[in-house]
Amino acid sequence: MLPRTQRQKEVLDYITRFLAKHGHEPSYAQIARHFGVSSKATIAKHIGALEKRGLIKRGHDDGAFTLAVNMGDVAADAVCEVRLVGRIAAGAPIDAIEDTEMICVPRFLLGRVRPERIYALKVKGDSMIDEHICDGDIALIESRNEARDGEIVVALVDQARATLKRIFRFGDEVELRPSNTQLQPLRLHASRVQIQGIFRSLMRPNA
């Protein structure tokens, strides 16, 4: 069963990534902070909806509240194949690699986007680490050539090098902004940047 709303999907994706990275579930406060929500009750509502749909289990462990993402019961028809087309830099832009193969992806990660509109890229680097997008992760990308300010995009720079960044526009310039406080954004003339897709979700191999 799939999440009912886009926000439920985003909450489920965040919990899944957090568990893979840290080995334990995030607190309601951490989830609320990640989404810029002041009320933990709002997060509790989304968690309750996901639990009703069988995607999350809630329990108590020695008095502490716990969450568990229920991926063990994913049906075969809830899995689809997408193209893994190469590497994408989450640091300085690197040359694209074309080594297309097909990989299996849980269907719910794609939301309402058709699988044929999704491709996958292996992340290299740590400039999106504050979004929990880590080196070696698999980024699922919707094939599009337009994006809103603030979206995470696959940007092709100078028709040669691909990078994964948040995009912002300033007149005739484009800023490709990392999610890592140790790194500086890349400001380029808009003519040098071509959007090739929008980040939609993430998988962590062998997590």
Q: Is 15 in contact with 27 (CB distance < 8 Å)?
A: no
Catalytic residues: 127, 165
User: Cα–Cα distance between 142 and 160 in angstroms, integer?
Assistant: 20
**Residues with Cβ < 8 Å from 19, sequence gap 6 or more?**
25, 69, 207
The CA distances from residue 100 to 12, 55, 105, 122, in Å, are 28, 31, 15, 11
Q: Is 138 in contact with 123 (CB distance < 8 Å)?
A: yes
**140: exposed, middle or buried (Cβ count in 10 Å: 0-12, 13-18, 19+):** buried
- Looking at the DSSP bridge assignments, the partners of residue 134 are none
